[in-house]
Structure 1
């Protein structure tokens, strides 16, 4: 048997086992305040004087008080938890959206749980079911490939506040916030045509999604305006991994009439193209123009600085958070469709 006087760990365990769970009532008795005042003070309510809030917070911190969210959710039908689901958490564009979402939702005392569904419809459904089982307050989602209006209706029929971002599902009656992918890609391709390029490759994009289909369509439309027929040999769809980007670049450069400019579906693809070109002995921006999409953090500081389409990640996150919070607060929301106009940012990677 371990002697508790010689080993502090067993004694600490005994203290924890015998410790009573702290409650609002206990804190109130210690300070001579009502439980309602204690609760408001811990939520930094302006209804409680600042001096009182500081006293309550100091005692709570000293005593190690942690709010019982499970009990609170039974009383208020709120958990203060929101699910956020996308297909690629590695993409820095979504990291920028997460940052804006978290800032806006935390200001409303809402925390986020992140899921990476990886375009797996089964994983997406499992996460949604988990949110429903744990009575989450809402969901913000970039839908997986294969999501249809019926799947969206299944979620909203459960009464879960829901906002869609970045990708669109035809017929889904929920608020949507995304960039205008057709317009952004068309502006980018127009720029390359204006610089004299006629052989322009398009690499990446999942064409079963609205983002993939519309960015490709914008590229094709810009070529058509200039009297250039889109060459299927210059189109590399469904390319998302860096390995696939390198393989696509090798194939394009090996063509008898190779492209003089390359558009990456997003900045990650474009950075992969830059690396692949250099590996092949071609200098990006000098020998072959390269452009990306989303204008993520670092694009302007790359070598060469990457031409990209600014896709308003922070604005999308902030607007989506506001739409969700309004639903959580009980507002009746129309299935509003917010398309944000992107902005082409021209840099050295597509110089003449």
Structure 2
């Protein structure tokens, strides 16, 4: 079947069977099939310069609102797609920023991403996301892809195994880099994260104040700064209270709800069974709680449990989970603003910027044998 309207020519059928054009100034001069639409086609159609068309498509304030809307409407009608790669060659900017984290399924990172996305999108930046899963090879492949697309910068929660040399190589090439949530010693880039040592110290001290002396720590990749610092805070609080951390149950590497479910038998079968568990994050804690309950050990009265990050929903569990708020909104916003400063050419000190954590005490961490929350009806 042939197309009687002609390729790419919008038309309406009038009541007498004749076709009438939607274009007030006659048919636009479209390129022949197989040729790309260019800025010049839109410029010729509207009688303006290609520079004005380019500025309008990039929402430049130098173009009047009415002209900008005419350009965008025409581009949409003719099916023009802005060539970002060609524009980046002209401006040395791609308006692309890469964001890489190790667990995009963790609600904590979703909150961080939402905050930094708001800031970056305000500045017209498109975001490429990588869930590297703590696989340094996967992270490196993503960074190489960003370089091929001439990305303006990178916000990175570095994978375990990331070296200072590879980050410094990027910085040395002029690529703006900001680390978040974790730091790598010796990098020439700023890092934004919560004070993990202070947060874990505070929550462990809280458990000690509730009368607990057998306090397990579960989780945290000790090859990451967050894993090391939260473990160090737990150890310091125990030592300051005259307790030996090496006599406590310490189970590393647990990171997810599945890990939390899996580790419960190990806790209950420990030679010195703990009366409290400080979890590396909320996911591990939330994974544990229903399994403890199924094994007739009630979270709260029978075993105190604390989390970390205070994700959405932690306060609405039964019992409500004691956790450490790490202010993901502040971390995401500050990471984005710090990167934008670098993209603009500003020199930013390469040092950690620590966000003060906030302990939020709830029902899950009472003294042993004390119930603060309601009993669940079986």
Question: How does the TM-score come out when normalised to structure 2?
Answer: 0.85
- State which drifts further: 308-317 or 28-37: 28-37
Is structure 2 residue 116 aligned with structure 1 residue 101?
yes
Q: How far did 1:155 drift?
A: 1.8
Is structure 2 residue 179 aligned with structure 1 residue 183?
no
Q: How far did 1:292 drift?
A: 0.5
Matched with 2:252 is 237
Cα distance in 2 between the residues matched to 1:316 and 1:73: 29
Matched with 1:36 is 51
Q: How far did 1:47 drift?
A: 2.5
- State which drifts further: 188-197 or 35-44: 35-44
Cα distance in 2 between the residues matched to 1:55 and 1:244: 55
Matched with 1:266 is 281
Cα distance in 2 between the residues matched to 1:19 and 1:329: 39
Q: How far did 1:107 drift?
A: 0.9
| Shift >6 Å, 4+ stretches | none
Is structure 2 residue 312 aligned with structure 1 residue 306?
no
Q: How far did 1:241 drift?
A: 4.3
Q: How far did 1:336 drift?
A: 3.3
Cα distance in 2 between the residues matched to 1:47 and 1:256: 72
Q: How far did 1:169 drift?
A: 0.9
CA deviations on 1:200-244 (whole Å, 9 max, x unpaired) are: 111001112110111011111111222222244511111224444
Cα distance in 1 between the residues matched to 2:199 and 2:52: 52
Which 5+ residue runs of structure 2 have no aligned equivalent? Answer: 9-29, 368-378
More helix by share: 1
Cα distance in 2 between the residues matched to 1:232 and 1:265: 19
Kindly tell me: are residues 261 and 41 of structure 1, through their superposed partners in 2, closer, same or farther at Cα, counting changes over 3 Å?
A: same
Q: How far did 1:264 drift?
A: 1.0
Q: How far did 1:260 drift?
A: 1.3
Among residues 237, 248, 259, which one is paired with 2:263 in the alignment? 248
1:45 match: secondary structure: coil
Is structure 2 residue 143 aligned with structure 1 residue 128?
yes
Instruction: Tell me how many residue pairs correspond in the alignment.
Output: 344
Q: How far did 1:343 drift?
A: 0.5
- State which drifts further: 30-39 or 142-151: 30-39
CA deviations on 1:13-38 (whole Å, 9 max, x unpaired) are: xx998265332222222222222222
Cα distance in 1 between the residues matched to 2:32 and 2:266: 66
Larger radius of gyration: 2
Which 5+ residue runs of structure 1 have no aligned equivalent? Answer: none
Cα distance in 2 between the residues matched to 1:32 and 1:247: 68
Cα distance in 2 between the residues matched to 1:16 and 1:299: 58
Kindly tell me: are residues 113 and 56 of structure 1, through their superposed partners in 2, closer, same or farther at Cα, counting changes over 3 Å?
A: same
Among residues 85, 94, 99, which one is paired with 2:100 in the alignment? 85
Cα distance in 2 between the residues matched to 1:71 and 1:318: 30
Cα distance in 2 between the residues matched to 1:345 and 1:254: 29
Matched with 1:334 is 349
Matched with 2:173 is 158
Is structure 2 residue 301 aligned with structure 1 residue 286?
yes
Q: How far did 1:270 drift?
A: 0.8
Matched with 2:370 is none
CA deviations on 1:170-207 (whole Å, 9 max, x unpaired) are: 11121111110000000101111111111111100111
Cα distance in 2 between the residues matched to 1:36 and 1:16: 20
Kindly tell me: are residues 150 and 265 of structure 1, through their superposed partners in 2, closer, same or farther at Cα, counting changes over 3 Å?
A: same
Q: How far did 1:137 drift?
A: 1.1
1:349 match: secondary structure: coil
Cα distance in 2 between the residues matched to 1:248 and 1:108: 45
Matched with 1:344 is 359
Cα distance in 1 between the residues matched to 2:278 and 2:181: 19
Cα distance in 1 between the residues matched to 2:225 and 2:283: 19
The answer on whether the counterparts of 2:260 and 2:286 sit within 8 Å (CA) in structure 1 is: no
The answer on whether the counterparts of 1:100 and 1:317 sit within 8 Å (CA) in structure 2 is: yes
CA deviations on 1:140-182 (whole Å, 9 max, x unpaired) are: 1111112222122222222211111111111112111111000
CA deviations on 1:302-322 (whole Å, 9 max, x unpaired) are: 222211111111111111111
Matched with 1:315 is 330
Matches within 5 A, 1:3-152: 4=1, 18=33, 20-152=35-167
2:364 match: secondary structure: helix
CA deviations on 1:252-293 (whole Å, 9 max, x unpaired) are: 112344211111100111111112211211121222111110
